[in-house]
A and B are shown apart, each in its own frame.
Chain A
Amino acid sequence: MSDTGVHSNDIHAGATQTLGDARLVEAYRASTTRLLEHRAEAIAEVPGFERLRDRAREVKRETIEHLDYYIAQFADNVTRNGGRVYWASTAEEACDTVVNIACRAGVREVVKAKSMLGEEIDLNQALEAAGIRPIETDLGEFIIQLAGDRPAHIVAPAIHMTRKDVSELFVARLGAEPTVVPEELTAIARRALRENFQKAGMGVSGANFAVADTGTLVLVENEGNIRMCTTVPRLHVALVGIEKLVPRLADLGVFLRLLGRSGTGQTLTTYTSFLTGPRRPGEDGPEELHVVMVDNGRTAALADAKMREMLYCIRCGACLNTCPVYRKIGGHAYGWAYSGPIGALVTPTLLGIRQARELPFASSLCGACREVCPVRINIPDLLLHLRGQAQTQAPVKAASLLSERHLFGLWAWAMRHPRLYTLGSRMARWGQFLLARRGWIRKIPMYPASQWTLGRDFPALAPKAFRDRWKQLRRE
């Protein structure tokens, strides 16, 4: 059954694993650098890009502040267009809904478009448990599924794999001839996938945007597989996170210009599909459209006036590409469907801080993410907010006599009392002669300084603090 928890909550283990694999580190570095360069080129050609970001943020803010209104409007319009709307408050309910639709229609095979929400709710596992075969049709997702892996990036799921890795996988699993030519690899995948579109009874997709005033689902992609998934099978099921709403069709002029450029550096993705209801007489398309609106922790985020901002995210992945931490540790280390700075916000917010209390700390708070976010989410600020939540709602059990909280309590006490601060620093000066050699300390046995000296030397305290030199300085 679907597992609503994280896959792993040990980000340190994941980070160490990635950093220990030079090929993996290089794969992340090369791919994220390329995506960032493409982004920079693509936004340079748009006059007023910064104003577009302002506008997008404002639209998202307005939508999220009045989400109840827009959700109702969207649902009414989907129904009016001939679709059916379902509500799922948990991942499990969402999976059950999809499985039930498939079972009722006697569907044995499902073609899937890339959907992070699908990853979030572990839909594949739920379908498999019900005896239904999920077939990923996005090239990256296809590779990941074949490898029995998890997506390493919200836009580029197989970002961590090189062409050689993919070739080896195709040779082993599909009996293909070895090749590292991207076009040939794509052709191999296409051949393996093509027949599935014909025989699958149902297509499952996500949605990039759900337009309230028309009931339209908007999907962006580059491979055409989403269009196939949503039009060829008899049934189309769309998973829609409730934060995907935009009020008006006209708002897409803003968002589509931002999304492709921010994510992959494209002016527009190759395909942009607008799906408004199932097939109408004389047209092609699915006979039935089922829209599953998924909460799974989103209304809880909505209730938190601060964390609400996280729901503005349009999942472009730019913050991952620019994050120096993501670029080092990769996507899997974050332990759930969403990775990078946005993952460090989404996972603890949707699943609860206890499920992922370390994630908000996995950031140097450098702010590079905020600089590229198309909707200007103040990611460092929200990470700081979550750090506060982590310490109050999910404190770490002390490993030693002095917990981190105790240490900071002591620290604050000393910092409030300048004499204590001075006395403490003098004692440390006296004590450090045991450790320091020519102004440097190679190893400090005590936590947390021991963590510092794992990879760096620690500078000894200056022989005389500034405050002790001040009087003399004034005389000079």
Chain B
Amino acid sequence: MRVALFITCLADQFLPHAGEGVVKVLQRLGVELTFNPAQTCCGQPAFNTGYRDEARSVATRVLDLFDDADYIVSPSGSCTSMVRVFYPELFAGDPKRLRQVEQLRTRFFEFSEFLVNVLKIEDVGASFPHRVTYHDSCHLLRELGVGEAPRKLLRKVRGLELIELGDHQLCCGFGGTFSVKFPEVSVPMGQDKVRAASQTGAEYLVAADGGCLMHLSGLIHREGSPLKTLHLAEVLAQQEKQ
């Protein structure tokens, strides 16, 4: 089984530990992972902002780069939904590319659903003795329909206490370029989420998307709240100290 990592530009530049988490967990499970350094971005920022030609020019590269892997795994529900849900729309006018998209979509998975739904593994042998609350990123939850997989994985982590967030299905307000086009709305939405997370009494706010994490951690840091954020893969990579 050849599994290729699509790191995503955000995780590559801002959250490399999330990528390392994916590498560690898959290594532990005996899955061989490849990384093609020619990859950059899935094109979503441009697509999300209405620049479809620009988005297409970037997305085309993703179609070509991952032609030969059995599976492609990404630590982002949002970038995965870009490929699986929005590429068909982006390439609707190009039958040749659309065939490539159809080929790619069936092999492209977000990290937690890959573990739970493809590898059928819930216990990855992690240990993290802390109180954790999980934030559903909207694209993962609603575009890909993945809400249970991350929770299943977290429940099997030794010592971890999973506390559900109030209004867990509510958007945190990141929304891609929405965060900079409507900061006056994006920020109070995020503040609500941080407040809800703090009220759970959790030490860590965990999510499976770099965008939400950058937004939420930026708010937390500005507020000076003791809450810490982690990517799901970082939690799953933790093991008991030897």
- Which residues of chain A have a CB within 8 Å of any CB of chain B? 12, 15-16, 19, 324-325, 328-329, 360-368, 370-371, 381, 384, 386-392, 404-405, 408-409, 411-412, 414-416, 418, 421, 425, 440, 442, 448-449, 451-452, 454-459, 461-462, 464-467, 469-470, 473
Contacts and interface: CB of A to CB of B under 8 A. Distances in A.
Given A324-B189, A366-B175, A390-B50, A371 B142 contact: yes
Contacts of A442: 222
Interface in B5-24: 7, 9, 11-17, 19-20, 23
Which of B52, B182, B183, B221 has the most C-beta atoms of chain A within 10 angstroms of its own C-beta?
B182
A367 B43 contact: no
Listed from nearest, the 10 A-B pairs whose CB atoms lie closest are A364-B175, A387-B50, A455-B187, A456-B218, A366-B171, A367-B142, A391-B50, A366-B138, A466-B16, A451-B180
Contact of A421 (B40, B46, B190): B40
B180 A364 contact: no
A381 B48 CA distance: 10
A454 B187 contact: yes
A384 B48 contact: yes
A467 B54 contact: no
Contacts of A464: 16
Which of A12, A421, A456, A462 has the most C-beta atoms of chain B within 10 angstroms of its own C-beta?
A456
A39 to B, nearest CB: 14
Contact of A467 (B12, B43, B46, B219): B12
B178 A457 contact: no
A452 B179 contact: yes
B46 A408 contact: yes
- Interface size on B, as a range, is 35 or more
A387 B61 CA distance: 23
Contact of B219 (A325, A456, A469): A456
B77 to A, nearest CB: 12
B179 A465 contact: no
A416 B43 CA distance: 10
B170 to A, nearest CB: 6
Interface in B173-228: 173-190, 214-215, 217-219, 221-222
B221 A440 contact: yes
Given A391-B50, A415-B40, A328 B138 contact: no
B185 A469 contact: no
Interface in B45-62: 45-52, 54-55, 57-58, 61
Given A370-B142, A454-B187, A461 B38 contact: no
Given A387-B48, A390-B50, A329 B15 contact: no
B89 A361 contact: no
Nearest to A447: B180
B223 to A, nearest CB: 9
A15 B169 CA distance: 23
A388 B50 contact: yes
A232 B50 CA distance: 51
Contacts of B15: 462
B215 to A, nearest CB: 7
A366 B20 CA distance: 28
Given A418-B40, A456-B222, A473-B20, A15 B187 contact: no
13 contacts: A360-B50, A364-B178, A371-B142, A388-B51, A408-B46, A408-B51, A412-B46, A415-B41, A418-B38, A449-B180, A456-B215, A466-B12, A467-B35
B13 A12 contact: no
Given A365-B175, A462-B17, 8 more contacts: A12-B184, A364-B189, A404-B49, A405-B51, A411-B46, A425-B13, A455-B183, A455-B219
Contact of B171 (A16, A368, A457): A368
B127 interface: no
Contacts of A457: 218-219, 221-222
Interface of B: 7, 9, 11-17, 19-20, 23, 35, 37-41, 43, 45-52, 54-55, 57-58, 61, 86, 89, 138-139, 142-143, 169-171, 173-190, 214-215, 217-219, 221-222
Nearest to B170: A324
A391 B49 contact: yes
A363 B175 contact: yes
A469 B58 contact: no
A178 B57 CA distance: 64
A363 B86 CA distance: 17
A295 to B, nearest CB: 27
Contacts of B39: 418
A452 B218 contact: yes
Contact of B217 (A389, A459, A467): A459
Contacts of B190: 456
A19 B185 contact: yes
Contact of B13 (A367, A386, A461): A461
Nearest to B179: A452
Contact of A368 (B52, B169, B173, B177): B169
B58 to A, nearest CB: 5
Contacts of A388: 50-52
A457 B143 CA distance: 28
Contacts of A455: 183, 186-187, 219, 222
